[in-house]
Structure 1
Amino acid sequence: MRRAIKVSKKILAFSLAVFMGVAVLGLSLQADAAKKKSSGTYAEGDDIAFGTLDGNIINWTILTYDDTTKVALLVSRKTLHSYSVLAYRDSINQMYLNSNSSAGYVKWEDNYWRGWLNQIFYNQCFTDAERATIQKTSLTEEAAQTSLMNFYHDTTLDAYYLAGNVKNSLNMNIYNNQSTTSDYIFFLSTDEYTEYKDTMKYETSNTWPLRTNAYDDPAQGLFVNDTKKLIERKYYYLGDGIRPAMYVKLGKTDEEKAAESGTDTSSTDTITTSDTTSSSSSSSTSSSTSTTSTASTASSATTTAATTTSTSSTSTAKATSSKKYANNGTNIGNITLPDDASYSMTNGSTAQVAINLDYLNSTDKQYNVTYKSSDASVFTVDSNGLITSVGKGTGTLTVRMKKSNGKTYTMTCRIDVT
């Protein structure tokens, strides 16, 4: 009996030591993560908010990051759909109708997607400060040809081949018509997608085009299927979803900081969006994505700078640590918008939404915030941004912030209830 007790004590002591070690390690990892986030450094797989499209703040995923140059390769976190994309495509289709011709092979250099990305999207969806951080990059003719050849030699990503069909031979006309192009914003090539596909997020079921080929209804155009994570070849692309990519400088290098240290000590390694929206009217933003078109419950609250008599939903934004948050009373939250693109919670639990005013570069103290749930059977949200999960499933939280100057921000976050 005594021997058994001694053995039990040893097991208990060992278990306690393991538990304490894991706890300490967990706290250390959490501390490192918090330190990393507060220091403004970035890593592959991180998500950042940058620019607006149809009034919606765009979330991006970092595919690569060089801490020396501070340059990151970004791709949109979700497939983007836009009224301006549809309008631009309609104008291209009308051009074919007016000329009594049909769309055929068009290389990337002359492609209508490229025109939209580098003219409309680049100029209308980013502020001057944001555009200054976007790096112009080139894809050479040789790299485009190599990327295309690699796909036709590879079988692991070809949906057509994996479905039991014969691997198609390379279309030499397309191969020989690649050209060197320089863009601020572009689509991933087949090689780039192959390299970074496991870092990307797949939160929607869409098909979107790649760059190494042609897209005005091409012969053998190459597109990614989000659900299958495979590349498909299509003759005619009927979709309007795209996943832009770009190189962005996220802060100042050590050399730049050292050069400015004598005159400016306030620089940080963060990017901000100034008080602006895209050219689309704010009245249409709530329906710009299919995820918010279902039946919903809505509630709103007004926050003002007034300190006289007010309702419980009225408050003044206050500084907490180095950030400001809007309209939740405590100035903190489980979900920080526009930073967070998704959030998981258990059934029957609650979560608080906070709006990061520092990110929005907001000095306006008067604004109206409206919260909306896309599916009240999954979660509800009250006028202060408190989410209550109701049943298992997935829904979309849509938050609209209208300021006194008429500017409107629309932010979304996917809510998963388990």
Structure 2
Amino acid sequence: MKKIYLNLKNLMAFGMAVIMLASFIANPITAEAAKKKGSGNATYAVGDNIAFGNIDGGIISWTILTYDDKTKMAFVTTRKPLASKSVTAYREAIAQMFKQNGTKAGYVRWSENYWRGWLNQTFYKQCFNDAEREMIQKTTLSEQDAKNSIMNYYHDTSMDADYVGGKEKNALNMAIYNSQTTTADYIFFLSSDEYTANKDTIKNETLYMFPLRTNTYDDPTYGLFGNDTDKLIHRMYYYGGDSIRPAMYVKLGEPEEEATDSKSSDSKSSKSSSTKTTSTSDSKTTSSTSTSTAKAETTEAKSTSTRKYANNGTNEGDISLPEDSDHSMKPGDVAQVAIDMDYLNSTDKQFNCTYTTSDANVVTIDSNGQVIAVNKGSANVTVRMRKSNGKIYTMSCRIDVT
């Protein structure tokens, strides 16, 4: 079944690539802000629309939700939920995969979500040109921020469609709350906090529903969805819905000279933060757990900047956490986990790591973060890193063995 799913995904990606080559334009950045352009640079404001990227032959329109005029950093989401043929085909491929397997999707953390992989691989790589990808800033959502978003949703009864409709509000599922992880993405879904804070700026021009990033429900089969009609959060089958509403941080120009040095903008967004929790739940992980002490090393990142990676004394790895949401392997393949310290805003070189696998029959992981693919299937590898100051990061990646 995995092979069918991967073939569908690759076919869709190839078709999208062909469309992109035929319809891309060199630099499709336009905005309502252009109307305000005088002798200097264009200015932007909350509520402006910008044209950025291209999907299925059409330019994508985004709405600016927040904007910092000094750093030129804008937080944007699509003006309308995306329901194009590429999005629909991928959503149907996911549903078909579960149907062929005779299963239903259970609760899926954002770190292992199929949509996360699509957004940061197919969508990011094929729907934006080189200049646009340079402008898109990577964003870290900490484990604690993900937890806070879930808890805040439960406290904000005005955003619960069932509660507003007269039904009793259910209790929070603590197993889901405690299983949140740190993630880093170029493109993502709005969290329930971000949706709540910006729902009045978001353009509501359709009747679509779209999934949110930090999902929770008392029955873990379901997740949280924004609604373009009533601005409420609804709970429904996680891979259902009509569309998706991507969001990202994008730099619309050069920061002002009096702003802090360029490294200050390298955090990629105002949401970047370290975790503040001191406990996590490993209820979903099983065998191959081990603990070791590691030291951060310095290595050259994929870009020209230098980043710090940690994986027990080395600086190389096939799986970079928290950035990677999934990794494909074949039985017998070996991969190495590396932790990107810069995205975790960490200068602490002393920390303790515990590596776990959700299914040792599919993949194993040892005390050095080395992953071995055993049999076909899918499993999650999770790293729990405790720093010397007591802070804890939990990061995970879905491994597909085909």
1:218 and 1:236 in contact (8 A); partners too: no
Q: For this pair of structures, how many residues does the alignment match?
A: 226
* Structure 2 counterpart of 1:103, one-letter code: A
**Whole-angstrom distance in 2 between the partners of 1:191 and 1:38:** 38
User: Separation in 2 of the partners of 1:134 and 1:238?
Assistant: 28
Q: Distance in 1 between matches of 2:36 and 2:114?
A: 44
1:85 corresponds to: 87
Corresponding residue number in structure 1 for 2:106: 104
CA contact (8 A) 1:44 1:65 kept: yes
**Could you say which residue in structure 2 is the equivalent of 1:67?**
69
Deviation, 1:67, is 1.1
- Residue number in structure 1 paired with 2:176: 174
Separation in structure 1 between the aligned mates of residue 170 and residue 220 of structure 2, nearest angstrom:
16
TM-score (norm 2): 0.53
SS at the partner of 2:71? coil
Matches for 1:239-250 after TM superposition, within 5 Å:
239-250=241-252
Distance 1:74 1:227 in 2: 20
Quote how far apart the aligned CAs of 1:176 are: 1.4
Question: How far does the alpha carbon of each residue in 1:125-154 deviate from its partner, in whole angstroms, 9 at most, with x for none?
Answer: 100100010000011110000110011111
CA distance 1:37–1:72, shift in 2 (3 Å): farther
Once the two structures are TM-superposed, the CA of residue 156 in structure 1 deviates from its matched residue by: 1.2
Counterpart position of 1:196: 198
Preserved contact between residue 95 and residue 239 of structure 2 (Cα < 8 Å)? no
Match of 2:213 in 1: 211
- Of 51, 54, 57, the match for 1:52: 54
The 3 A distance-change label for structure 1 pair 222 and 37 is farther
- Contact persistence 2:204–2:229 (CA under 8 A): yes
In the TM superposition, residue 157 of structure 1 has moved relative to its aligned partner by: 1.2
**What residue in structure 2 maps to residue 160 of structure 1?**
162
Q: Indicate how the Cα distance of structure 1 residues 238 and 38 shifts in structure 2: closer, same or farther if over 3 A, else same.
A: farther
Taking only the aligned residue pairs, the percentage that are identical comes to: 64
> 1:189 corresponds to which letter in structure 2?
S
Q: State the distance in 1 between where 2:39 and 2:133 align.
A: 24
**Alpha-carbon offset, residue 200 of structure 1:** 1.1
TM-superposed CA distance for 1:34, in Å, is: 5.0
Which residue matches 1:42?
44
The amino acid of 1:193's aligned partner reads Y
Preserved contact between residue 190 and residue 213 of structure 2 (Cα < 8 Å)? yes
Aligned to 1:331: none
Q: Give the distance between the partners of 1:34 and 1:85, measured in 2 at CA.
A: 32
Distance 2:138 2:68 in 1: 16
Partners of 1:218 and 1:235 within 8 A in 2? no
Give the counterpart letter for 1:155 in structure 2: T
Deviation at 1:108, TM superposition (A): 0.5
State whether residues 105 and 221 of structure 2, in contact with CA within 8 Å, keep that contact through their aligned partners in structure 1: no
Q: Do 1:148 and 1:175's aligned partners in 2 also have CA atoms closer than 8 Å?
A: yes
Residues 4-403 of structure 1: pairs in structure 2 closer than 5 A:
35-36=36-37, 39=40, 40-213=42-215, 219-255=221-257
Gaps of 5+ in 2: 1-32, 262-402
CA 1:226/1:90 → structure 2, altered by over 3 Å: closer, same or farther?
closer
Amino acid of the structure 2 residue aligned with 1:199: T
For residues 103 and 161 of structure 2, what CA distance do their matches in structure 1 show? Answer: 31
CA-to-partner distance for each residue in 1:254-303, whole Å, 9 max, x for gaps? 3399x9xxxxxxxxxxxxxxxxxxxxxxxxxxxxxxxxxxxxxxxxxxxx
Determine the C-alpha separation between the residues in 1 that align with 2:38 and 2:107: 46
Q: Measured at CA, do residues 99 and 66 of structure 1 come closer, stay the same or move farther in structure 2, by a change above 3 Å?
A: same
- Structure 1 pair 224/37, CA: closer, same or farther in 2 (3 Å)? farther
SS in structure 2 opposite 1:194? helix
CA distance in 1, matches of 2:78, 2:39: 23
SS at match of 2:120: helix
Q: Deviations over 1:179-215 (max 9, x none)?
A: 1110000011111111111111111111111101169
Structure 1 unpaired stretches of 5+? 1-31, 260-418
Cα offset for 1:226? 1.1
SS of 2:81 mapped into structure 1: coil
| Cα-to-partner distance string for 1:31-69 (whole Å, 9 max, x where unaligned) | x99545664111111111101111111111101111111
Task: Answer with 1 or 2: which has the greater Rg.
Answer: 1
Per-residue CA deviations over 1:344-384 (Å, capped at 9, x if unaligned) read xxxxxxxxxxxxxxxxxxxxxxxxxxxxxxxxxxxxxxxxx
Does the 8 A contact of 1:204 with 1:226 survive in 2?
yes
Distance 1:213 1:35 in 2: 39
Specify the alignment match of 1:284 in structure 2: none
What's the secondary structure of 1:117's corresponding residue?
helix
Partner secondary structure for residue 57 of structure 1: strand
Distance 1:166 1:102 in 2: 26
Is the 2:106–2:220 contact (alpha carbons within 8 Å) kept by the matching residues of 1? Answer: yes
- Asked if the contact 2:211–2:225 (Cα under 8 Å) also holds between the matched residues in 1, the reply is yes
Letter in 2 for 1:59: S
After superposition, what is the alpha-carbon deviation per residue over 1:5-46, rounded to whole angstroms, capped at 9, x for unaligned?
xxxxxxxxxxxxxxxxxxxxxxxxxxx995456641111111
Shift of 1:163: 0.1
